[in-house]
Chain A
Amino acid sequence: MRVTNMVPDIQYAMQQSQTALSAALQQVSTGLRVNQPSDDPAAAAKMVVSLAASANVDQYTSNISSVLPQMQTADSAISSVVTSLNSALTAGTSGATGTESAANRQVLATQVASDLTSVIAEANTSFQGAYVFGGSASSTPPFVAASTSYTSAQGTVASPLTFATPLTAGSVTSISDATTGDTMTFTAAAGDTIATLQAKISSAVSAGTLAAGTSATIDAAGHLSIATNTSTAGIVVSSNDAAFGSMAATPGTQVANAYAYVGNSNQNWVQVGDSMNVATNVPGNQLFTSGTNAIASLNGLITALQSGTSAQIGAAATAVSTALNAVSQQRVPLDNTISQLNDQESYLGQDTVTLTTQQTALVGVNIADAATNLSQAELTNSAVLAAAAKVLPQTLLDFLK
């Protein structure tokens, strides 16, 4: 073949070797084999998915860091409750002794009342503004002093509410009972009246959600009155129904040492792994009131110490003991979850390492290989330039001088 001009070949060779040099340099300087999708489209696409997985793992770790203190706060609160219940139990056991004087029993009653106050304070513990034992209704204290009667804002003597007064569809009325520890929630439907609410309350009494004697009446002043005839416990009523307005405790009806749970039974679940969700809260009713009602048992013990017989005090102390066991049992799942979270945190740490290794394999470069490639590319480039310097200036004219 007749060769006339080597410049294009040399230019092409220089271009190629410089491109290779630039690529090798970029790999060494960035530590990456894939700097843009076109370098390896399949790896770049897998990288998108892998990075999303990494972001999730980071978030799970962060979630654990966020919920652990909250759960530890709850755990610590339960621990204090257990201490208070133990203290009350000791007082109860002592008070049940037949030789104990009435005066001493009054002192013990005061001590148990103090334990109850501590329990309520712990049960209303908040973490970063959220009440940890309120279920998902965490914006207000879950345990509220109960009263025997609640009266509506609406209604006058001249224009009294009646059982036929229609309710606002969609409005919610809830009655939390200190004795049962349960809450009746009534959502008004179209066409419902105060009579419907009254019927609902009767049903709740029959079902045991509300204590016997709880009823809705229209009082002499024309107000709706929701009340209970139990003098040692009480209820807490709330409503957003415009038909009878807000419900407020009737003055002078608050019951000493009686508290109703106004939170809900819902748990919040937080994702801490691709297929792992943990409940981050124990609703207060599950812990303190449902089944064995720790708060009511303390209230019962106080009443028994103040005015009961030794047998009654003994029975009340037994109730506190049962409640103590129940609370201790409820603590176990919470402790398990805390331990699970600590394990999961370690696992996520390993997961991050696995994902990082995967990402390095996808788009990273072996530094030793990259350095070798770079020196190879430098060598090639130097060789091309040296060859060009030798070949380009040579013409026959050099020798014809």
Chain B
Amino acid sequence: MASLSTSLLTAVQALVADTGALQVTNNNIANASTPGYSRQLAIFQEATPTNDGSSSVGNGVVLEGYQSVRDELVQTQIQQETQAQSGANAQLASLQQIQPTFTTSTQDIGTEMSAMFSSLSSLSTNPTSASAGEAVLTAGQNLATAFNTASNTLTSQQAGLNTQVTQDVSQINQLTQQIAALNPQIAELKATGQDGGTVQDQQNQLVLSLSALTSVAVTQTDSGVTLTTGSGTALVVGSQSFALQSTTGSDGMQHVLDQNGADITASLTTGSLPSGDLGGTIQMRDETIPGLLTQLDTLANQFGTAFNAVQASGTDQSGAAGTAFFKFPPTVPSAAPPVNGSAASITMAITDPSQIASSSDGSGGANGNLAKFGQLQTTAFVSGQTPGDAYANLVYQVGSLTSNATAESGATTSSLLQLNNQLSSVSGVSIDEESTNLITFQTAYEAAARVVTTVQTLFQITMTMGTAAAE
């Protein structure tokens, strides 16, 4: 049977529930801009009603607890997209620094190569001209410098990326340590049927940061989250994290080792797209840049070798057989130079215009051999291509790689925006919504407080009922 005391109790429970809801609303508003925060809801439930024979009377509301609103699927998709974005961005950042070297300018290899052939053609109009000969030497020196500069750009990028690998590994280890440390707290909360709440948000945010660094596979278990790399190397299991190591390999590059000391560097770049900053960095360092360097070295090497061969087939101003035009230290100029490092080391071997083997008949005034130099421009001696086409191909590749990385970065950014919007529609805090909640719970609190006042008045009336009758 209903009583004033029961009503008072119901009102007090309502005050408690509304206070809790106001606190949740307050917290949501406070964390509206906190990265990774999932909005919370106060879970209200009807109190068990009192059965009074044939009727049943409600006993108000009970605040069951608080629940964070999450979408694990979208969260996972965001992690994966973040991996792809970071991988593309790592490559893009590096390629954007490489690209200017291969952009047409006054000093790029293509321009210098043209200038080289032009200077030789110019010399052919007056083979004994010292100034035209000097122009050939200058053009040769400029071309060698252009090769050196392009090679240095690539190798210094590679060195920078190598340092990045060490930094990435160090950050990965810090993050996995922090993630593992949160696992017991989440497991404990879940064991008591509670929501992971703030701790879960923190862990999700750390996993997202980890996704930006490397490919991670996420599995939710009773003891918290289990993390492995894309290729299956354990990173976090329960409260334990497994640190990766970076060490200098026989190639002079930093290699990534798992907790057992096994080299997992190659596995970090497997797949069509590199994952995370580490994957993108390693792919640039170990595949893209070496590929470009090999082509550049081949071009420099075969160009220099072909020039030396033509030079040897003619005679210089003194009638002597031409000596090597270019050299590739530390090997002697006449030896077949190794391809690797050719672009970095190519230099001029002759220093005097009279050493240019212009002549094909032994007379200083003949220009027959200069025509042979000119023919190199249209001869396919660089891996089946003319030197100009070989360089154009290199430009195409650099452009294409940069363009693809730009497109991939743009696509993942757009995709991440959609996914974040999707997650935000579930977990995000809406200030307008919280404002209305604030009004709702404030009103409810005021109404419940009014009930308390009313019951109090009724109690007073009840207490003075006898006295009033006596008077």
| A and B associate in one complex | yes
- Report the bound CA distance from A264 to B362 in whole Å: 11
| B364 nearest in chain A by CB position | A139
Interface centre among A38, A137, A277, A395 (most CB of B within 10 A): A38
Residues on A with C-beta less than 8 A from B422 are 1
Q: Is B65 an interface residue (CB 8 A)?
A: no
Q: Is A269 an interface residue (CB 8 A)?
A: yes
Residues on A with C-beta less than 8 A from B99 are 36-38
* Count of residues in B whose CB is under 8 Å from the partner chain: 65
By the criterion CB–CB under 8 Å, are B121 and A59 in contact? Answer: yes
Residues on B with C-beta less than 8 A from A268 are 124, 127, 365-368
Q: Is A135 an interface residue (CB 8 A)?
A: yes
Majority secondary structure of chain B interface residues (helix, strand, loop or mixed):
helix
Q: Is A386 an interface residue (CB 8 A)?
A: no
Interface 9-mer from B191-199, B343-351, B426-434, B449-457:
B426-434
B86-103 residues with Cβ-Cβ distance < 8 A to A are: 95, 99-100, 102-103
Say which residue of A62, A139, A395, A396 sits within 8 Å of B365 (CB atoms). Answer: A139
- Report the bound CA distance from A55 to B422 in whole Å: 56
A240-274 residues with Cβ-Cβ distance < 8 A to B are: 264, 266, 268-271
Residues on A with C-beta less than 8 A from B374 are 271
A330 to chain B, nearest CB (A): 20
A212 to chain B, nearest CB (A): 29
B400-452 residues with Cβ-Cβ distance < 8 A to A are: 400, 402-403, 406, 413-414, 417, 420-422, 424-426, 428-433, 435-436, 439
Residues on A with C-beta less than 8 A from B117 are 52, 55-56, 59
By the criterion CB–CB under 8 Å, are A41 and B396 in contact? Answer: yes
Q: Is A390 an interface residue (CB 8 A)?
A: no
A41-79 residues with Cβ-Cβ distance < 8 A to B are: 41-42, 44-49, 51-52, 55-56, 58-60, 62-63, 66-67, 70
By the criterion CB–CB under 8 Å, are B124 and A37 in contact? Answer: no
B356-408 residues with Cβ-Cβ distance < 8 A to A are: 359, 361, 363-368, 371, 374, 377, 388-389, 391-393, 395-400, 402-403, 406
Residues on A with C-beta less than 8 A from B95 are 38
By the criterion CB–CB under 8 Å, are A2 and B426 in contact? Answer: yes
Contact with B along A1-25 (1 / 0, CB 8 A): 1111100110010000000000000
Say which residue of B32, B111, B365, B393 sits within 8 Å of A134 (CB atoms). Answer: B365
Residues on A with C-beta less than 8 A from B365 are 130, 134-139, 268
- Report the bound CA distance from A138 to B439 in whole Å: 104
Say which residue of A4, A39, A47, A264 sits within 8 Å of B430 (CB atoms). Answer: A4
A129/B128 contact (C-beta < 8 A), A52-B110, A58-B118 known? yes
- Report the bound CA distance from A42 to B436 in whole Å: 57
- Report the bound CA distance from A268 to B364 in whole Å: 11
By the criterion CB–CB under 8 Å, are A63 and B363 in contact? Answer: no
- Report the bound CA distance from A397 to B366 in whole Å: 91
A53 to chain B, nearest CB (A): 9
| A268 nearest in chain B by CB position | B367
Residues on A with C-beta less than 8 A from B102 are 37
Q: Is B122 an interface residue (CB 8 A)?
A: yes
- Report the bound CA distance from A324 to B391 in whole Å: 55
Residues on A with C-beta less than 8 A from B433 are 4
By the criterion CB–CB under 8 Å, are B428 and A4 in contact? Answer: yes
By the criterion CB–CB under 8 Å, are B430 and A3 in contact? Answer: yes
A232 to chain B, nearest CB (A): 30
A4/B429 contact (C-beta < 8 A), A52-B110, A136-B359, A277-B371 known? yes
A266/B366 contact (C-beta < 8 A), A37-B102, A38-B406, A397-B431 known? yes
Residues on A with C-beta less than 8 A from B359 are 136
Residues on B with C-beta less than 8 A from A1 are 421-422, 425
B298 to chain A, nearest CB (A): 17
By the criterion CB–CB under 8 Å, are A55 and B114 in contact? Answer: yes
By the criterion CB–CB under 8 Å, are A396 and B432 in contact? Answer: yes
By the criterion CB–CB under 8 Å, are A51 and B114 in contact? Answer: yes
B396 to chain A, nearest CB (A): 4
A52/B125 contact (C-beta < 8 A), A9-B417, A397-B435 known? no
Say which residue of A4, A37, A66 sits within 8 Å of B425 (CB atoms). Answer: A4
By the criterion CB–CB under 8 Å, are A130 and B128 in contact? Answer: yes
Residues on A with C-beta less than 8 A from B400 are 37-38, 41
By the criterion CB–CB under 8 Å, are A59 and B399 in contact? Answer: no
Residues on A with C-beta less than 8 A from B114 are 51-52, 55-56
Q: Is B115 an interface residue (CB 8 A)?
A: yes
- Report the bound CA distance from A271 to B113 in whole Å: 17
Residues on A with C-beta less than 8 A from B399 are 36-41, 44-45
A45/B125 contact (C-beta < 8 A), A5-B428, A38-B402 known? no
A63/B396 contact (C-beta < 8 A), A9-B417, A52-B388 known? no
Residues on A with C-beta less than 8 A from B393 are 45
A130/B431 contact (C-beta < 8 A), A37-B395, A41-B396, A139-B365 known? no
Q: Can you list 10 A-B pairs, Cβ within 8 angstroms, ordered by A?
A: A35-B103, A37-B402, A38-B399, A41-B396, A44-B395, A135-B365, A139-B363, A264-B361, A268-B365, A271-B374
Residues of B within 8 A of A (CB): 32, 95, 99-100, 102-104, 110-111, 113-115, 117-118, 121-122, 124-129, 359, 361, 363-368, 371, 374, 377, 388-389, 391-393, 395-400, 402-403, 406, 413-414, 417, 420-422, 424-426, 428-433, 435-436, 439
**7 residue pairs, one from A and one from B, having the closest CB atoms:** A37-B399, A41-B399, A136-B366, A138-B365, A4-B428, A38-B402, A45-B396
